Amino acid sequence: GDSVTQMEGPVTLSEEAFLTINCTYTATGYPSLFWYVQYPGEGLQLLLKATKADDKGSNKGFEATYRKETTSFHLEKGSVQVSDSAVYFCALRANTGNQFYFGTGTSLTVIP
């Protein structure tokens, strides 16, 4: 069945460091891919998305490219800030039906 596997955390980085959180998926066909973020004490919110192969989603300095050949959707940011400290979830929406599959989440802490 469809599934998402993401890098386990927790991840701790210094401010201005480069961030990569790996995400790979298993799905039939062409799913849509998402990164959600959960800031401390808040609900999940959409960070970025990509709906077809080679699309790049971007928001708030974060980017992720939909790579069908490697079934990946890695999240990157060139220079993290303390305010980026949160839990990040990779997710896919199957292209048949409306079922979503989430990864287990990666906790990021950015220290000044």
Does 26 sit near other proteins (CB under 8 A)? no
CA torsion, points 55, 50, 33, 6, in degrees to nearest 10? 70
Residue 13: C-alpha distances to residues 7, 10, 64, 107, 112 (Å): 15, 10, 19, 11, 9
Sole binder of other proteins in the list 17, 44, 65, 67 (CB under 8 A): 44
User: Could you say which residues in the range 88-107 bind other proteins, by CB under 8 A?
Assistant: 89, 93, 97-105
Q: Which of 2, 3, 7 is nearest to 64 (CA)?
A: 7
Does 7 sit near other proteins (CB under 8 A)? no
Please say which residue, 9 or 71, places its beta carbon nearer to other proteins. 9
Please say which residue, 36 or 66, places its beta carbon nearer to other proteins. 36
Please say which residue, 18 or 39, places its beta carbon nearer to other proteins. 39
Name the pairing type of β-strands 23-26 and 3-6.
antiparallel
Residues forming contacts to other proteins in the complex (CB under 8 A) are: 32, 34, 36, 42-46, 49, 51, 89, 93, 97-105
